[in-house]
């Protein structure tokens, strides 16, 4: 795409966000000015409505801002094929040779990848020329692979993924409460206005319309919010709910839509972090080290350690537990020790030779013990 076209495309991507902002600004005018200041006589009622309204508006816009402007999680450079490997990969004559190159590269660098393609191969992005970490996918709008990609959302002009998923869910929740509050408090004035009992109020149109619009948005938000709460409880991304991830076991691979599920509460912690006080605020809440995830069979360290561990990798934007690359899974068999061994080694190697990414290897997740289930037997 040429320069001016690219600029136009970039600008056009902001239109849905502009639409949302315009609706919010108009709803502010309709609700605060037309309804509360011009139509409601009772000072107590007016003050109460305005007080609650502004708190909800603030939380809603804060979560929205955070969802839009949080940087997406990018794939660490260890996953990228170096020029020599890339040359071999591109010159390879058959799929078998390419598969072998990827397997060897993964093995050599101890990359913690357990997800596979439908044919059991290592997932590789041709566009980014890198191996895809578990749960990551290529976003065609952003033009790169994104860690734990849920989906690309045009309404926030950003990927909803590992780094901002909590913000997105809060954004949906607060937007829903915001709409419901407006609808509930406008209802009686809507009825009065409908019956022509509101007197000569100039903003009748705005009061009627703000009621309709808030109901309309609430209906669409309630299904979307409900769906994402369901996904959080199951530890699935939207993409994974459409196509279940495939996990490598020692001699085979299985497709398991609940492969990352650690139980509803732990799944919730993985997205919302382990600091209860900050669960409902769109701020960083994770006490993790930015790299390691809780692993079944390993004793979680004490919370004391956790509170002293600095958040890394994503700085102030870190919300979810972990680094977005490795995830605890319930699909385990005799191969587990190997896998966990690789994961551990990978993290240790990072600590030694890749300080540029800020990775360290501390296990800092005070999660409850995870019960391993083994009801996944669908070899592909």
Catalytic residues: 153
Contact 134, 112 (CB under 8 A): yes
At its nearest, how many Å lie between Zn ion and the CB of residue 97? 22
Write the CB contacts of 5 (distance below 8 Å, at least 6 apart in sequence).
none
At its nearest, how many Å lie between Zn ion and the CB of residue 81? 12
Closest CA to 261 of 103, 367, 171: 367
Contact 325, 312 (CB under 8 A): no
Contact 332, 372 (CB under 8 A): yes
How many Å apart are CA 111 and CA 323, to the nearest integer?
13
Write the CB contacts of 255 (distance below 8 Å, at least 6 apart in sequence).
244, 245, 246, 247, 378, 380
Q: Which residues bind Zn ion (CB under 5 A)?
A: 125, 127-128, 138-139, 141-142, 145, 152, 159
At its nearest, how many Å lie between Zn ion and the CB of residue 5? 19
Helix (H, G, I), strand (E, B) or coil at 96: helix
**Considering beta carbons, is residue 61 or 139 the nearer one to Zn ion?**
139
At its nearest, how many Å lie between Zn ion and the CB of residue 311? 24
- Which strand (E) or helix (H) includes residue 159? strand 158-160
Contact 252, 320 (CB under 8 A): no
Contact 151, 239 (CB under 8 A): yes
**Considering beta carbons, is residue 135 or 138 the nearer one to Zn ion?**
138
How many Å apart are CA 229 and CA 264, to the nearest integer?
10
**Considering beta carbons, is residue 13 or 276 the nearer one to Zn ion?**
13
How many Å apart are CA 114 and CA 312, to the nearest integer?
23
**Considering beta carbons, is residue 150 or 258 the nearer one to Zn ion?**
150
**Considering beta carbons, is residue 158 or 313 the nearer one to Zn ion?**
158
At its nearest, how many Å lie between Zn ion and the CB of residue 9? 13
Closest CA to 121 of 146, 144, 92: 92
């Amino acid at each position: 795409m040429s320069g001016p076209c690219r600029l136009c495309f970039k600008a056009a991507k902001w239109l849905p966000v502009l639409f949302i902002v315009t609706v919010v600004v108009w709803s502010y005018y309709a609700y605060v000015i037309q309804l509360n200041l011009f139509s409601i006589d009772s000072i107590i009622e007016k003050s109460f409505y305005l007080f609650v309204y502004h708190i909800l508006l603030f939380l809603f816009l804060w979560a929205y801002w955070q969802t839009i402007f949080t940087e997406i999680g990018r794939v660490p450079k260890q996953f990228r094929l170096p020029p020599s490997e890339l040359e071999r990969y591109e010159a390879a004559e058959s799929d078998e040779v390419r598969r072998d190159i990827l397997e060897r590269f993964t093995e050599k660098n101890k990359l913690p990848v357990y997800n596979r393609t439908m044919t059991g191969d290592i997932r590789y992005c041709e566009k980014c020329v890198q191996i895809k970490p578990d749960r990551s996918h290529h976003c065609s709008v952003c033009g790169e692979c994104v860690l734990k990609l849920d989906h690309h959302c045009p309404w926030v002009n950003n990927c909803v993924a590992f780094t901002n998923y909590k913000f997105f869910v809060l954004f949906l929740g607060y937007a829903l409460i915001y709409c419901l509050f407006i609808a509930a408090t406008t209802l009686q004035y809507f009825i009065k206005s409908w019956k022509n009992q509101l007197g000569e109020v100039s903003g009748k149109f705005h009061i009627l319309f703000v009621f309709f619009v808030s109901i309309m948005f609430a209906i669409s938000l309630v299904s979307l919010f409900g769906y994402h709460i369901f996904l959080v409880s199951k530890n699935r991304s939207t993409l994974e709910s459409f196509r279940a991830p495939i996990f490598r076991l020692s001699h085979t691979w299985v497709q398991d839509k609940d492969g990352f599920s650690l139980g509803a509460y732990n799944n919730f912690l993985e997205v919302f972090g382990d600091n209860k006080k900050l669960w409902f605020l769109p701020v960083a809440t994770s006490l993790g080290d930015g790299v390691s995830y809780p692993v079944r069979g390993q004793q979680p360290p004490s919370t004391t350690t956790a509170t002293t561990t600095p958040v890394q990798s994503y700085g102030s934007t870190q919300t979810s537990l972990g680094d977005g690359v490795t995830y605890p899974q319930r699909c385990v068999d005799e191969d587990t020790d190997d896998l966990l061994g690789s994961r551990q080694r990978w993290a240790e190697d990072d600590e030694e030779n890749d300080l540029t990414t800020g990775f360290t290897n501390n296990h800092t997740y005070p999660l409850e013990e995870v019960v391993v289930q083994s009801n996944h037997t669908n070899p592909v």
